[in-house]
Structures are given as structure tokens and as C-alpha cells.
Amino acid sequence: MDARSILLGVSELITSNIPAICARRFEVTWKSDGSPVTSADIMIEGRVRAYLEEHIPELTFVGEESFDPKIWKANRAIALLDPIDGTENFISGLKEWGVSLGLWLDGQHQGSMLLMPELNERLVTGDKVQRVRSRITGFSSSFSEGIVDGMRGATESRIFGCATYNLLNVARGSFRRFYNPKGAYAWDLLPGLMIALEQGCEVLVNEEKFDGRFLEPDRRYRVDIRNRYDLHIGQGTVS
């Protein structure tokens, strides 16, 4: 599998369809849990799935909008997709929404991508990043007392409402830390966790050191990620 080529192909597929995607941002329905989904979510998931199935034999496709835990069974190849992460931002006309995609073959991670289409930002397995110094801790937007406690101890705090953007920022050092104490699903987190590991971050999942294993799609996971390098002067280092 030429994972990087496939991921870049998906990136091009999405960015070339930005006008059609944005035209669907206000076509909203509501899931049983009260969260929104747009026709753009469905369009992206359908087109990305078709592209991946054309390029990857024996593919098990896991997409947020079509996943059925009752029939979940992994083949040799797995693709894990969140077609629009930060849907609340998307339907509110904000640009901080992203696409998260990861690829696995025979249980081994092949590559992942974090894409912010309207911000024209992207991080793909194999990319080199220009590291920056930051004092900012990013927090998830799902309320938890742990976030309140974390903000008390943070020098600077940000909440963007998009895990893809949070993960991209901590991987490249624009955040010194990203903390989600309430938890999110694998399609929200796992591609970004893999990229964070590749970029040398310290990654905890459910308070334990993350070893890069595939996370089951139908569970929530708490994450705490710290960028090890180029920390702001006076912060010290992560041991």
C-alpha cells in the first residue's frame, strides 16, 4: 500500500470539492444523540470511501456516519474516517473544521492525515514540521470538570471545537499540550494520535502511555498529548 500517495489523493479529492462541500453546510439533520450531521458529511464520506475502495483491496471502511458496530469486522486493510470533525463549527460558518483519515494494513499503521480544508492546512505521515514554541494548552469542547481544573493550571488556553485542529496543533508544536478528559471516538482521535507519535509527542490514552495500537471504533477514549520539543523558555522538558 502506498499510503502517502493515497492520503494525498484523498486530500486533493476533498480540496477540489470545497465549493460543493460548503454549499451543503446548512443542510443539517440531527442524530439521535442530538449532534448535527450535514449532507456535506455524507457526501465526503461517500466519495472518500469510493476512492479508497478503488485503491485498496480487501478494505474495511470505518466512517463516522456509516459505522455499524453490529457488523464491524476488520479485513486486512482498515480505513478510519471522520468526514467532518467540528460539525458545529461547520454549520455555524466557521472554518475550523477538519477531515481525519488513517490507514492500517495487517494491524500496522500505514499513514494518517489531518486536513483543515478551509484553512488550507494539512499534516500527513512523512511530513516534516517547522516546530514552534508555545505556552498554549488546547482543550476539548465537551465540558468536563477536568477541563476547568486544567485551565486553572494552564498559562494560556484555547478551545476550538475541532479535535482534528487540536491534534494538528499539538503535533506541530503550536500547542504545548492537548487535553480531552471526557473522551471521544477513535475516528475523532486515532489518526491524530498516530501523527503525534510520529512527531515525537508524549501520548496518553485513558491515562496510560499509548503504544500506537488500533483503537476499537465503538468506544470513547480520553487523551492527553504533550509536545516534547521546542517548549517555551522556562517550561522545562517532558521527562
Specify the pLDDT at position 232.
Answer: 47
Let me know if 210 is exposed, middle or buried by CB neighbors in 10 A (0-12, 13-18, 19+). Answer: buried
CATH number at residue 215: 3.40.190.80
- Digit-by-digit pLDDT tens for the chain (239 residues) are 799 999 999 999 999 999 999 999 999 999 988 899 999 999 999 999 999 999 999 899 999 999 998 888 888 899 999 999 999 999 999 999 999 999 999 999 999 999 999 999 999 999 998 878 899 999 999 888 888 888 888 889 999 999 999 999 999 999 999 999 999 999 999 999 999 999 999 999 999 999 999 999 989 999 999 997 644 455 544 44
Q: Is the Cα torsion angle 42, 141, 164, 160 positive or negative in sign?
A: positive
* Confidence (pTM): 0.91
Question: Cα(18)–Cα(26) distance, rounded to whole angstroms?
Answer: 14
- Whether residues 164 and 79 share a domain: the answer is no
pLDDT at 229: 62
SS3 content of the chain, % helix, strand, coil (to 5): 30, 30, 40
**Residue 238 lies inside a defined structural domain of this protein:** no
Q: Is residue 71 part of a domain?
A: yes
Nearest CA-CA partner of 89 in 62, 118, 63: 118
pLDDT at position 239 is: 42
Q: What does the pLDDT read at residue 218? A: 84
Q: Is 146 found in the same domain as 118?
A: no
* Whether residue 118 sits in one domain with residue 180: no
Considering the domain architecture, whether residues 152 and 222 belong to the same structural domain is answered as yes
Please give the Cα distance from 55 to 47 (Å, whole number). Answer: 13
- Report how many domains make up the chain: 2
User: How many of the other CB atoms lie within 10 Å of CB of 29?
Assistant: 10
Kindly report the CATH number assigned to the domain that includes residue 89: 3.30.540.10
Same domain, 162 and 209: yes
Domain range for 32? 3-122
* Pairing status of strand 121-124 against strand 108-116: antiparallel
Residues 116 and 145 in one domain: no
Both 73 and 155 in a single domain?
Answer: no
Whether residues 146 and 93 fall in one domain: no
Distance between CA 166 and CA 164 in Å, rounded?
5
The CA-atom distances, in angstroms, between 234 and each of 134, 177, 202, 229 are: 11, 15, 19, 13
Alpha-carbon distances, residue 142 vs 40, 159, 180, 202, 208 (angstroms): 23, 10, 8, 22, 21
Give exposure, 131-165, as e/b (b: 16+ Cβ within 10 Å): beebbbbbbbbeebebbeebeeebeebbebbbbbb
Q: How far is Cα 226 from Cα 215, in angstroms, rounded to an integer?
A: 20
